[in-house]
Amino acid sequence: MKRQDELGLSEELLQLKNANSAFLGDGVALQSYDHYRSDKRFADENNKIFRRLPHAVAHSGALAGSNAFLRAEYAGVPLLLSRDDQGRAHAFVNACRHRGMQLVEKQAGCVKRFTCPYHAWSYGTDGGFMAAPHFDQGFAELDKAELGLRRLECAERFGFVWVTIDSSDDLQFDEHFAPIADDFEALKIAGLVVVEETVLDIKANWKLLVEGGLEAYHFKVAHRNTIGPFFENNLSTFQVLGEHLRSVLPRTSLAETDRTDAAFRLLDHANILYLMFPNTQFLVQQDHVVWIQANPRAAGRTELRVRTLAPAEATEREDAGAYWEKNHRITCATLAEDFAIAEGIQRSVNAGLDQSMIFGRFESALGVFNDTVKRCLAG
Ligand code: FES
Ligand SMILES: [Fe+2]
């Protein structure tokens, strides 16, 4: 974040505090329960949002070195990421071109070629077809150059490997990320490494998990036994950055700090959360970043990945293992409160009643997020 933005946001938050008001949207908004439980709606979101927008399938560090590979799944598609011997990252559908067998079963590793366990067709780490037993007898009329793995659009940015499953429309990768690129560069996100990871299976719609991070209204209530006491009561603001959002929730320490001090940093006195639309959140903390991904599995089910990212040099300190483990445990304990709430809401939603939830004026970031979802669905 630029210095002037950091100071501007601090000023805005303190003015809001003095006025005893959060940033307010235009009015109350309603959101139908059906948006969180409808299978049709979920299938639409899968096709028009998850498959159409770039997703950070892996941290670049998980695909380090020539011939590294890893397997993943996103939006219902089995994926294979690889790095060729030139160091370039690739993404493919993890399916053999012969009869569709899952090509790679191992989670991760390092190989020079991928060999299908069914009839041994083999492929290079760049996805090109290499060989098949009895090829000339059975497949002579096929062009080997056309038999490579199905390739997906793949780019490395900010230290992550981004994959777009359906890149048939004209969404430009760099344009999509341009509104947050300066902030991410200033935060040196690309230099961070994954130090801890937790994977959870949450019985709630992915949007509920995103929405939980976009308002401060619940902090003093739902987080009263954990982080609530450190934050201002129902005080937050947010900015729309393209399709993404930056949400800022001040701690009580902001009002007590000298902002003219050159050492002043907003992130020491606020939770700064970036929602990379649609479902990736980066929660910026004083000495690390929490990377949260809400990977949709079904209308009422989400795989939640929570990773702590830390500067590489901070992993070399003597107590690094214990320090980051403890940090991650505290993060997960607080987030568990949000996840339990999302599951509680989902149970209400699943009851099948024709009802809507209500977003108050200080919850307007939720309305903005849902408007973006609706815009994507409308095409
Ligand atoms: S399905 Fe892969 S070699 Fe036959
Ligand atoms: Fe929360």
Q: Mind listing the pLDDT tens digit of every residue in the chain (379 residues)?
A: 888 889 999 999 999 999 988 888 889 999 999 999 999 999 999 999 999 999 999 999 999 999 999 999 999 999 999 999 999 999 999 999 999 999 999 999 999 999 999 999 999 999 999 999 999 999 999 999 999 999 999 999 999 999 999 987 777 888 899 999 999 998 999 999 999 999 999 999 999 999 999 999 999 999 999 999 999 999 999 999 999 999 999 999 999 999 889 999 999 999 999 999 999 999 999 999 999 999 999 999 999 999 999 999 988 888 999 999 999 999 999 999 999 999 999 999 999 999 999 999 999 999 999 999 999 999 8
The whole-angstrom separation of Cα 325 and Cα 53 is 32
281 CA from centroid of ligand 2 (Å): 13
> Is 71 found in the same domain as 48?
no
> Is 310 found in the same domain as 279?
yes
Ligand nearest to the CA of residue 139, numbered in listed order = 1
> Is 105 found in the same domain as 20?
no
User: What is the rounded (10 degree) CA torsion for 130, 131, 137, 138?
Assistant: -80
Into how many domains does the chain fold? 2
Q: What's residue 2's pLDDT?
A: 84
Structural domain boundaries enclosing 193: 3-53+188-378
**Adjacency order of strands within the sheet including 192-202:** 192-202, 301-311, 289-298, 280-284, 270-276, 244-250, 237-241
> Is 88 found in the same domain as 194?
no
> Is 347 found in the same domain as 318?
yes
CB 123 within 8 A of CB 148: yes
Ligand nearest to the CA of residue 115, numbered in listed order = 1
136 CA from centroid of ligand 1 (Å): 16
Instruction: Enumerate residues 6+ apart whose C-beta is below 8 A from 228.
Output: 219, 220, 221, 222
Within a domain: 39 = yes
Around ion ligand 2, residues with a beta carbon closer than 5 Å are: 338
pTM strictly above 0.85: yes
Give the CATH number of the domain where residue 136 resides: 2.102.10.10
Instruction: Enumerate residues 6+ apart whose C-beta is below 8 A from 211.
Output: 366, 369
Give the CATH number of the domain where residue 262 resides: 3.90.380.10
> Is 70 found in the same domain as 49?
no
The whole-angstrom separation of Cα 58 and Cα 193 is 12
CA distance to 78, 98, 143, 145, per residue, from 125 (Å): 17, 17, 19, 15
> Is 300 found in the same domain as 194?
yes
> Is 133 found in the same domain as 49?
no
Q: What's residue 96's pLDDT?
A: 98
Q: What's residue 318's pLDDT?
A: 87
The three-state secondary structure class of 182 is helix
Within a domain: 268 = yes
The whole-angstrom separation of Cα 216 and Cα 200 is 24
Within a domain: 162 = no
The whole-angstrom separation of Cα 379 and Cα 366 is 20
